Structure 1
Amino acid sequence: MKFFRKNMDERREFEVTPIANVTVYVAVFGLVAAIIVQLFVLDLNFAYIAGEFIILLVCVIYSLIGHYRRGIWDFYTKPGMKAYFAYSFVGVSILMGIPILLLYFKNQASMLDSLWIFARNFIVAFPLVFGLLALLGTFTKKRQRKLAENQYGD
């Protein structure tokens, strides 16, 4: 005997899925915002945000594994060099740019120093993120082919 029974049909599950997706995005972006505020606005050290950081990493890793197992890359793009470049450029620019802007506006660094820090961090982070996305994209393409072969019995 099951302790919990499923009370939803497929139509209702389909309606609930977008709500769950938005909830997850709000939670992840909320954690990122909380980490940025605590580190750069409140000047707390990393020990104070370790819990949020661990939860964020667990959510991201679980999402990556779940998407890989289903052979899903993205709703709007396919795995390829353009997607890797765009996601790497935008993601690194935002994640490196926000802390640098906060340092500048808190008068902890001059404009030239802020740009130098951003450029140095960007040069290091961009190839790493691009390489990880290329690796994940390659794995996802292989997984998609494997799932297609199993589905169609080729």
Structure 2
Amino acid sequence: MKKIIDERQELEMMKVERTGFWIMWGVLLLSLLVQSLFLGAGPKQIAGENISFLVGCLIVVIGCVKKGLWGYDSTPCIKTYLSASLIGTLIFTFLLGAGLACNGSEHVLSICALFAISIFFLMFVVLFLMGTFTKYRQKKLAKQFDDDTDFLD
């Protein structure tokens, strides 16, 4: 297919698509939370939304890591891994606690404490591995870019 838009139009289109994706992602996340926490939907009832959400998340994460991209306002480092792990742990532990409390569980605090420790460790390890690979890809792509521009000298 022949491309009929110029670079400026392509950039604008990508901005629109990015905004649409993140709005869709947020609405899907909110829908999953509302259905599972407040409407009592079981895993079978929200399987399609979960699969769609997971696929979208994986495509973005794998694509960014493969291209050596990390984020707009942070770099892959221990401070970033710790802060992101802590924020994620607080959010997911709160959601678990709310779900357990709504269902009348007796051991909410002990379950949440074990969950928080586990999820923090898991998130930190995953972020560390992703950050390490991202830095490796950044160096490899920078070297490849430098090698590609040697013919200009």
TM bracket, shorter-chain basis:
0.7 to 0.9
Residue 108 of structure 1 aligns to a residue whose secondary structure is coil
Q: Deviations for 1:12-67, whole angstroms, at most 9, x for unmatched residues?
A: 12222222222111222222211111111111210111111111111111111211
Tell me if the contact between 2:81 and 2:127 (Cα under 8 Å) persists in the aligned partners: yes
Q: How far, CA to CA, are the matches of 2:110 and 2:31 in structure 1?
A: 26
Identity of aligned residues (%): 33
Measure how far apart 1:92 and its partner are: 2.2
Where has structure 1 moved over 6 Å in runs of 4 or more?
A: none
Q: Give unmatched runs, 5+ long, in structure 1.
A: none
Q: Give unmatched runs, 5+ long, in structure 2.
A: none
Which residue number corresponds to residue 122 of structure 2? 128
Which residue number corresponds to residue 133 of structure 2? 139
Tell me if the contact between 2:96 and 2:112 (Cα under 8 Å) persists in the aligned partners: no
Q: How far, CA to CA, are the matches of 2:16 and 2:91 in structure 1?
A: 26
Instruction: Give the alignment partner of residue 72 of structure 2, picking from 72, 75, 81.
Output: 75
Q: How far, CA to CA, are the matches of 2:23 and 2:92 in structure 1?
A: 17
Residue 45 of structure 1 aligns to a residue whose secondary structure is coil
Tell me if the contact between 1:40 and 1:103 (Cα under 8 Å) persists in the aligned partners: no
Q: How far, CA to CA, are the matches of 1:11 and 1:50 in structure 2?
A: 39
Q: How far, CA to CA, are the matches of 2:93 and 2:25 in structure 1?
A: 17
Instruction: Give the alignment partner of residue 119 of structure 1, picking from 113, 116, 136.
Output: 113
| TM-score after normalising by structure 1 | 0.86
Verify: 1:62 aligned to 2:59, yes or no.
yes
Verify: 1:18 aligned to 2:12, yes or no.
no
Q: How far, CA to CA, are the matches of 2:103 and 2:28 in structure 1?
A: 25
Q: 1:125 is aligned with what amino acid?
A: I
Q: How far, CA to CA, are the matches of 1:7 and 1:100 in structure 2?
A: 52
Residue 45 of structure 2 aligns to a residue whose secondary structure is helix
Q: How far, CA to CA, are the matches of 1:32 and 1:117 in structure 2?
A: 23
Computed over aligned residues only, the root mean square deviation of the Cα atoms, in angstroms, reads: 1.9
The worse-fitting range, judged by mean Cα deviation, of 93-102 and 133-142 is: 93-102
Measure how far apart 1:109 and its partner are: 4.3
Q: How far, CA to CA, are the matches of 2:14 and 2:43 in structure 1?
A: 34
Q: Deviations for 1:83-130, whole angstroms, at most 9, x for unmatched residues?
A: 1111111122112212423543x37247xx433332221111110111
> How many correspondences in the alignment?
148
Q: How far, CA to CA, are the matches of 1:60 and 1:131 in structure 2?
A: 18
